[in-house]
Amino acid sequence: MTVPGIAYTELYVEDAHKYAAQLRDDWGFTLYEPAAAAPGTAQVVAHQGSVRVLLTSAVEAGHPVAGWVRRHGDGVAVIALRHADPAAAAAAAERAVAAGAVRLDGAGTVSGFGDLALRFTGPEDLLPPGELPGPGALLSLDHVAVVVPGGQLGDSVRWAVEGLGHREVFREYVEVGDQAMDSRVVQSPCGTVTFTLLEPDTSRASGQIDGFLTAHGGAGVQHLAYATGSITAAVRELAARGVAFLSTPGAYYDALESRLGPTAIPVAELRDTHVLVDRDHGGELFQIFARSTHPRRTLFLELVERRGAGSFGTANIKALYEAVERERATADS
């Protein structure tokens, strides 16, 4: 069952209009309001490239959205998966339920990973009325990274395969000092929906993945990775707007040419912008991670530029882990 892509991500937030203004000012999104907000909520859509982010906040404290935010803080609550037509969306929802998901409403929304829900939609994807805004730095949603509690990764992968029709395309065990985590990637057959699933190795020392689960209150989205056409230009543009990115030690770039040889983006330019690079049989992957602005530090954004690569930065997963550890250490000192 082919899924054309992710229609939108829905974030439950304390103040939809305030969060939307931050996406507009810092990340260059265009904003518009849906024709009718869901009952009991205020909603704003942020749009850039093919990216749609639906921001939802509760009008009253007793609304379920408000309860979700109290448990997790602002965060990704729903991933909407777009199908060719309503019948295909309904069939996909039935498959997920048959594999163990719980139906959450009558609109094709089911339980996914922890409190992260999945919504199966038809071809509509929150397009704004009239002419589409011009392109920004962000083109599309490359992948969604989800953290699950220790011991649940295998079951989560199996459910994605059986319930969503995905296939496992990558796995990696990452060790940093006395900490470690498992990473497995599942993807739709057409390659347009990708979940990176992470769990802590609970036999090792507690680290950032354990910290996410504690601060977030269970499984959830750790980061959203957005594709861009020129990552170094995007970093400079977004940094000028006020986005802060994680830094990478100079030693990473000192060893880069001996590890990979010449890269499509010169090492000096990568060093200047703190962009990471990895290579697989298809080409090169460039990536960088924004510093989290979340009060609980449980959600951040990533930029990705693919020049033929289909992988997820095997050599850079450890670099990300180390960079986030440095940020945690700095914030705690």
Q: Where are the alpha helices (DSSP H) in the chain?
A: 16-27, 64-72, 86-98, 153-164, 208-216, 231-241, 250-254, 256-260, 267-273, 314-332
100/79 Cα distance (integer angstroms): 18
Question: How would you write 88-125 as a 3-class SS string?
Answer: HHHHHHHHHHHCCCCECCCCCEEEEECCEEEEEECCCC
For residues 279 and 260, is the Cβ–Cβ distance under 8 A? yes
- pLDDT tens for 17-51 read 999 999 999 999 999 988 889 999 999 999 999 89
Predicted confidence at residue 123, as pLDDT, reads 78
d(CA 112, CA 135): 31
Q: How many Cβ atoms sit within 10 Å of the Cβ of residue 284?
A: 18
Tokens, residue 226: 């957005």
Where the chain has pLDDT below 70, the residues are 1-3, 125-135, 313-315, 317-333
> What was the pLDDT predicted at 18?
97
- Give this prediction's pTM: 0.91
In whole angstroms, give the CA distance from residue 248 to residue 243: 16
Cβ proximity of 55 and 43 under 8 Å: yes
Q: How far is it, in rounded angstroms, from Cα 191 to Cα 251?
A: 34
pLDDT in the model for residue 1: 46
Confidence at residue 332, expressed as pLDDT on a 0 to 100 scale: 63
Pairing label, strands 5-12, 51-58: parallel
Cβ neighbours for 91, distance < 8 A, ≥ 6 positions apart: 1
